[in-house]
Amino acid sequence: MLPFSRVTIIGLGLIGSSLARAIREYMPTVRVTGHDADPNVRQIARAIDLCDDVTDTAGASVTDADLVVLCVPVRAMGAAAAEIADDLPAEAIVSDVGSCKADVLAQLTAALPGRAIIPAHPVAGTENSGPEAGFASLFQGRWCIVTPPADADPAAVARVSELWHRVGADVEIMDPQHHDLVLAVTSHLPHLIAYTIVGTASDLEDVTQSEVIKYSAGGFRDFTRIAASDPTMWRDVFLANKDAVLEMLQRFSEDLSALQRAIRWNDGDALFNLFTRTRAIRRSIIEQGQDDPKPDFGRSH
Ligand code: NAP
């Protein structure tokens, strides 16, 4: 049996539009209603027939929903939830796709007291944003981490998990604080490093920007993909997951200093041992189907 029959998606960008497409492809009898704060996005969503219905107000989008999924930047979650509070059916479950969970759970609980709130985070994405960037297979073979509050109804958790199963994701249940720590190191810190490296390269005086771009295949270009990610989304992630990111950044700075020292003192063994361990991590990611085994990320040359 399908876990929901009327799903509302608020925020029709990369993730919201991918979820709309995936639900329509893998659960075609589910009615999908969409809303976005941006009139231009609503117009595009209608033009590309993204949902069964796109409403002009958030309230109108939820009146008969049995699931509402908020797909807006993490610091806009509370405002988006407040907008639907008066029109939300009593039995509806509210979920979200935000990249950090403790802060979002606090925002949703404050805006929708007493409601069934089951947050989730599909660990899938690209560097593109907007309704035309989405695609139905985005969640296939990726993890979706469901982070229910301690007192959540297990049946509601099971229904949200089943939705993500149906669109192709593997589901794991996790405590919100632990999620934030794990994602700080696997996602947030790598983005911060990429933003830094690309920023540093563009500020150099002795190496020109055209040289940086010309010789980017040496490694730099792989950071630029991550550093091209949506500025609003990532500003919000760093501010909403401040404690975990600062903790991981501290650890990273210490490890970077150790590497700096190894280079200064010609400690080749330290460098070799680290690089051997990191190579093994790459192999594990490929073995677990989380990336393409082809060399150079499968680029055609
Ligand atoms: P996106 O492509 O920028 O889409 C977000 C959309 O939400 C925009 O159209 C935005 O309109 C709209 N919006 C903002 N505030 C709103 C509000 N109060 N009510 C209704 N609509 C509102 O972003 P995205 O990449 O899909 O990210 C959405 C969420 O998914 C974020 O919480 C992010 O952390 C999470 N996530 C992203 C990824 C990823 O790789 N991109 C992966 C997993 C999870 P405006 O542009 O006019 O503000």
Q: Identify whether the C-beta of residue 111 lies closer than 8 Å to the C-beta of residue 82.
A: yes
Q: Report whether pLDDT(246) > 80.
A: yes
What one-letter code names the amino acid at 204? L
**Residue 133: what pLDDT?**
97
Fold of 178-291: 6-phosphogluconate dehydrogenase C-terminal fold (1.10.3660)
Note every long-range contact of 192-195, with CB atoms under 8 Å and residues 24 or more positions apart, other chains counting.
192/238, 192/245, 192/249, 193/223, 193/252, 194/223, 194/224, 194/226, 194/227, 195/226, 195/227, 195/234
State the Cα–Cα distance between residues 153 and 4, nearest whole angstrom: 16
Q: Is 129 in the pocket of ligand 1 (CB under 6 A)?
A: yes
DSSP symbol at 75? G
Homologous superfamily (CATH) of 6-174 is NAD(P)-binding Rossmann-like Domain (3.40.50.720)
Q: Report whether pLDDT(292) > 90.
A: no
Q: Is 13 in the pocket of ligand 1 (CB under 6 A)?
A: yes
The domain spans of the chain are 6-174, 178-291
Instruction: Give 97's contacts (C-beta < 8 A, 6+ positions apart).
Output: 15, 16, 19, 69, 70, 71, 120, 121, 122
pLDDT tens figures, 112-166: 999 999 999 999 999 999 999 999 999 999 999 999 999 999 999 999 999 999 9
pLDDT tens figures, 178-226: 999 999 999 999 999 999 999 999 888 888 889 999 999 889 999 999 9
State the Cα–Cα distance between residues 22 and 214, nearest whole angstrom: 38
By most ligand atoms within 8 Å of CB, the mutation choice from 17, 21, 36, 147 for ligand 1 is 36
H or E stretch at 171 = strand 170-173
Nearest CA to ligand 1 atom 12: 11
Find the range with the poorest average confidence among 71-75, 95-99, 210-214.
210-214
State the Cα–Cα distance between residues 56 and 69, nearest whole angstrom: 17
